[in-house]
């Protein structure tokens, strides 16, 4: 096989050290992705970066390789004791933090002196993480809440930090970490390099970038590409089915489509356990993944899924962030996501590494607002997904066409705009009083 250092599509032309080029090759990365080609040289030049790229596009390697190069280029700093924190990577979830930590450790395995990387996340006892930080660390990968806990306990100093990475910045804000990130800013040295990576760029992320970054280079690797690293090849489907038959249809599709591994998204912890239990009773290997599980159970479920011991993983959005499974055939939205951004992140779990994937959503005519909500998702992503029905699972109710409200909008069924039962009762009770009052006034 041709050496990575000898091929124009390898990592050597990006200015990386031969040891890192070899480490990338050993990791199976034989060619650069668009975000890596754009980001690595800029990071090596010391630029602040605001980069957007689809999920599965190689963002972790885009910052991990130049991060490690800055450390490997200064052996004296690596030999210093206690170690001084050089780089901090913030991630929105435990799973993504663990994944980043594994990538960094694998790439730096042959470094001399050895690098020390510590992963610090919530959901686990803080004491082992404090012990791991004794003597310092070169790189820390953390979730925001646990990072601040370690700072408050005096286990971590940020005064020498040279590089800050915010991975999946949009999700950091979506999950309510804005306050934690704000507290973090007050602890960071003013002179540092800051990198922000995000799959989308909503206004909140743009505002955060303004606060964090100094004259950043703006990169967008989300444009279509026809080469080896084209945008993920994902076939989107929308199937109409009654809400109480979704799990039955899911079982049927797994068998009829021949899916070996399926990631199923649901809205709640209860739904995650409930759907997984139904599938297990039908003799399908399945497990739930949600934020209330212990870290040990979450890690085991992911390991079983990646190893093929599970056919179905039923997950909430919070728990599924950072899942990267090679050969994931399909993603199924058992419950529709709350937003178009969440939809983008969900379906991005499939169609990775040049493989084709299927993203299938259940649209339920018997649940108010389902059709309208999915139309809003289609509008936000700029793509119409044809509705289909599966023989034997046709919905009992004809799909309700969205009705315009008084302003002519078709979004009236989204997120609480429909009147609740209590509101209707209050209006009914108030109507007679209004009529009597109106009659009294008109008689005067």
Check whether residue 176 and residue 63 sit in a common domain.
Answer: yes
- Residue 260 maps to which CATH number? 3.40.50.300
Check whether residue 10 and residue 99 sit in a common domain.
Answer: yes
Tell whether 106 is covered by a domain: yes
pLDDT for residue 327: 77
Whether the predicted pLDDT of 262 surpasses 80: yes
Check whether residue 126 and residue 240 sit in a common domain.
Answer: no
* Cβ-based neighbours of 431, under 8 Å, separated by 6 or more: none
For residues 42-57, give the mean pLDDT.
87
Percent of the residues in the chain that have a pLDDT greater than 70, as a whole number: 82
Tell whether 440 is covered by a domain: no
Instruction: Write down which residue in 172, 197, 220 finishes a domain.
Output: 220
Q: How confident is the model at residue 236 (pLDDT cuts 50, 70, 90)?
A: very high
Instruction: Write down which residue in 362, 388, 414 finishes a domain.
Output: 388
Tell which wins on pLDDT, 173 or 213: 213
Minimum mean pLDDT range among 31-40, 134-143, 312-321, 360-369: 312-321
Tell whether 442 is covered by a domain: no
Q: Which structural domain range is residue 32 located in?
A: 4-220
Check whether residue 149 and residue 298 sit in a common domain.
Answer: no
- Give the 3-state secondary structure of residue 397: coil
Please give the backbone phi and psi of residue 257, each rounded to the nearest 5 degrees, phi first. -90, -15
Give tens-digit pLDDT for 278-329.
Answer: 999 999 999 999 888 887 888 888 889 988 899 999 999 875 566 777 778 8
Tell which wins on pLDDT, 115 or 250: 250
Q: Which residue has the tokens 């951004």?
A: 341
* Cβ-based neighbours of 263, under 8 Å, separated by 6 or more: 305, 312, 313, 315, 320, 323, 325, 328, 330, 331, 332, 349, 350
Alpha carbon distance 313, 305 (integer Å): 7
Please report the sign of the dihedral spanned by the C-alpha atoms of residue 73, residue 27, residue 233, residue 365. negative
Q: How confident is the model at residue 6 (pLDDT cuts 50, 70, 90)?
A: very low
Alpha carbon distance 227, 222 (integer Å): 13
Check whether residue 61 and residue 194 sit in a common domain.
Answer: yes
Q: How confident is the model at residue 68 (pLDDT cuts 50, 70, 90)?
A: very high
Check whether residue 65 and residue 155 sit in a common domain.
Answer: yes
Whether the predicted pLDDT of 31 surpasses 90: no
pLDDT for residue 230: 44
Check whether residue 168 and residue 38 sit in a common domain.
Answer: yes
Percent of the residues in the chain that have a pLDDT greater than 90, as a whole number: 44
Check whether residue 180 and residue 290 sit in a common domain.
Answer: no
Tell whether 426 is covered by a domain: no
Alpha carbon distance 230, 267 (integer Å): 31
Instruction: Write down which residue in 347, 370, 388 finishes a domain.
Output: 388
Check whether residue 31 and residue 134 sit in a common domain.
Answer: yes
Q: Could you write out the three-class secondary structure of 320-383?
A: HCCCCCCCCCEEEECCCCCCHHHHHHHHCCCCCCCCEEEEEEEECCCCCCHHHHHHHHHHHHCC
pLDDT for residue 288: 95
The DSSP-derived string for 136-176 is --SEEEE-HHHHHHHHHTTS---TT--EEEETTHHHHHHTT
The domain total for the chain is 2
Give tens-digit pLDDT for 198-207.
Answer: 888 888 888 8
Most confidently modeled of 13-17, 30-34, 174-178, 408-412? 13-17
pLDDT for residue 51: 92
Check whether residue 196 and residue 285 sit in a common domain.
Answer: no
For residues 160-184, give the mean pLDDT.
85
For residues 373-389, give the mean pLDDT.
91
Alpha carbon distance 166, 197 (integer Å): 6
Tell whether 196 is covered by a domain: yes
Check whether residue 244 and residue 314 sit in a common domain.
Answer: yes
Tell whether 411 is covered by a domain: no
Average pLDDT in the chain: 81
Tell whether 419 is covered by a domain: no
pLDDT for residue 317: 83
pLDDT for residue 328: 87
pLDDT for residue 211: 84
pLDDT for residue 321: 61
Tell whether 369 is covered by a domain: yes
Q: Could you tell me the two tokens for 94?
A: 């435990």
Check whether residue 240 and residue 199 sit in a common domain.
Answer: no
């Amino acid at each position: 096989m041709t050496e990575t250092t000898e091929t124009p599509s390898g990592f050597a032309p990006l200015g990386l050290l031969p040891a890192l080029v070899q480490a990338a090759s050993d990791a199976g990365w034989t060619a650069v992705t668009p975000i890596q080609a754009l980001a690595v040289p800029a990071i090596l030049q010391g630029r602040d970066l605001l980069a957007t790229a689809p999920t599965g596009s190689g963002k972790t390697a885009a910052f991990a390789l130049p991060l490690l190069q800055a450390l490997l280029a200064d052996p004296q700093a690596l030999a210093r004791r206690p170690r001084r924190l050089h780089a901090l990577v913030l991630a929105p979830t435990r799973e993504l933090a663990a994944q980043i930590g594994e990538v960094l450790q694998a790439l730096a395995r042959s470094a001399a002196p050895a690098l020390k990387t510590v992963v610090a996340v919530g959901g686990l006892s803080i004491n082992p993480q404090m012990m791991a930080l004794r003597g310092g660390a070169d790189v820390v990968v953390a979730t925001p809440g646990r990072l601040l806990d370690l700072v408050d306990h005096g286990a971590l100093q940020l005064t020498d930090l040279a590089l800050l990475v915010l991975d999946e910045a949009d999700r950091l804000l979506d999950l309510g970490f804005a306050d934690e990130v704000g507290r973090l800013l007050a602890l960071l040295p003013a002179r540092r390099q800051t990198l922000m990576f995000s799959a989308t760029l909503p206004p909140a992320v743009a505002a955060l970038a303004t606060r964090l970054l100094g004259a950043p280079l703006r990169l967008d690797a989300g444009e279509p590409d026809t080469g080896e690293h084209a945008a993920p090849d994902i076939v989107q489907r929308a199937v109409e089915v009654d809400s109480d038959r979704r799990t039955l249809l899911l079982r049927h599709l797994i068998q009829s489509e021949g899916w070996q591994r399926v990631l199923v998204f649901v809205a709640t912890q209860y739904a995650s356990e409930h759907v997984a239990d139904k599938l297990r009773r039908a003799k399908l290997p399945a497990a739930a993944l949600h934020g209330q599980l212990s870290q040990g159970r979450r890690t085991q479920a992911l390991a079983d899924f990646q190893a093929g011991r599970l056919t179905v993983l039923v997950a909430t959005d919070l728990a599924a962030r950072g899942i990267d499974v090679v050969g994931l055939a399909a993603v199924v939205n058992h419950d529709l996501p709350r937003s178009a951004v969440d939809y983008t992140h969900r379906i991005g779990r499939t169609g990775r590494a040049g493989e084709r994937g299927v993203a299938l959503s259940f649209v339920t005519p018997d649940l108010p607002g389902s059709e309208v909500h999915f139309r809003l998702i289609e509008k936000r992503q700029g793509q119409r997904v044809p509705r289909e029905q599966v023989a034997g699972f046709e919905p009992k109710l004809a799909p309700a066409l969205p009705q315009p409200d008084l302003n002519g909008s078709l979004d009236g069924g989204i997120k609480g705009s429909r009147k609740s039962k209590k509101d209707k009762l209050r209006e009914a009770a108030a109507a007679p009083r209004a009529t009597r009052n109106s009659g009294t006034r008109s008689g005067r």
